Amino acid sequence: MKAKKLLWAVFIVALVIAVFLIAMAQYYVAVALVIGTLIMRHREIWSLIKTRKLPPVDERVRENTGKAIRNGFIFFAVATAIMMLPFGGVVTRNLDTVHILSALFLAAGLVYLLTYLFYDRAEPKMTQGRLKMLKTYLLIIGISVGVFIHNALYALFDVEEPVFFIIATIISPLALAVGLIGSLVVFIMGLAGRPS
């Protein structure tokens, strides 16, 4: 009963948000929201089609959902703070608020979905070594994005720094590519792999 109520609540909330997004002409975010909801609840939908019964919302599912919501919210809060504080002027000059909010919403939704899939599927199948590898790649992504933000800030205030310019244009994108590819490979291997 609880599972059925939760599923209905998720679909109704997603539908209301989708209607708002369509009204604001943010079609791509609405499509992403619908696809995201279907991916997020694919197990329930599949079980409903197959057995006409919903799987229970047990403590593991509740824990994973809680962790994924926390990560999505932290990302949304941090990204909003970064957009509003250092880049506020530049961003609002070039884009309207609806576009900014749509992009933030989309990115936060993606963070939620990926972390939910990670906690639910990949993490239990991963060995300690692979988890460490994933953390290293994510750290590389974090550092390269940090360097990019630092240099973007300096560029905004027209401060010339040749060393940081080389780091930002050559080393940082390379590190970002290595981090992204590496973490994706480890993540997908974890999703597809068998529990060890």
Partner 1 sequence: MKTRIKEFRSRYNLTQEKLAEMVGVRRETIIFLEQGKYNPSLRLAYSVARTLHTTVEELFIFDD
Q: Contact residues for partner 1 (CB under 8 A)? A: 55-56, 58-61, 120, 124-125, 195
Half-sphere exposure of 35 (CA within 13 A, CB side): 9
**Looking at beta carbons only, is 129 or 195 nearer to partner 1?**
195
- Smallest gap, in angstroms, from Cβ of residue 20 to partner 1? 32
**Looking at beta carbons only, is 105 or 119 nearer to partner 1?**
119
**Looking at beta carbons only, is 120 or 144 nearer to partner 1?**
120
- Smallest gap, in angstroms, from Cβ of residue 50 to partner 1? 12
- Smallest gap, in angstroms, from Cβ of residue 195 to partner 1? 5
**Looking at beta carbons only, is 55 or 173 nearer to partner 1?**
55
Helix (H, G, I), strand (E, B) or coil at 22: helix
- Smallest gap, in angstroms, from Cβ of residue 58 to partner 1? 4
Q: Please write down the long-range contacts of 99-108, taking CB distance under 8 Å and 24 or more positions apart.
A: 99/26, 102/21, 102/24, 102/26, 102/28, 102/29, 104/76, 104/79, 104/80, 105/29, 105/76, 106/28, 106/29, 106/32, 107/75, 107/76, 107/79, 108/72, 108/73, 108/75, 108/76, 108/79
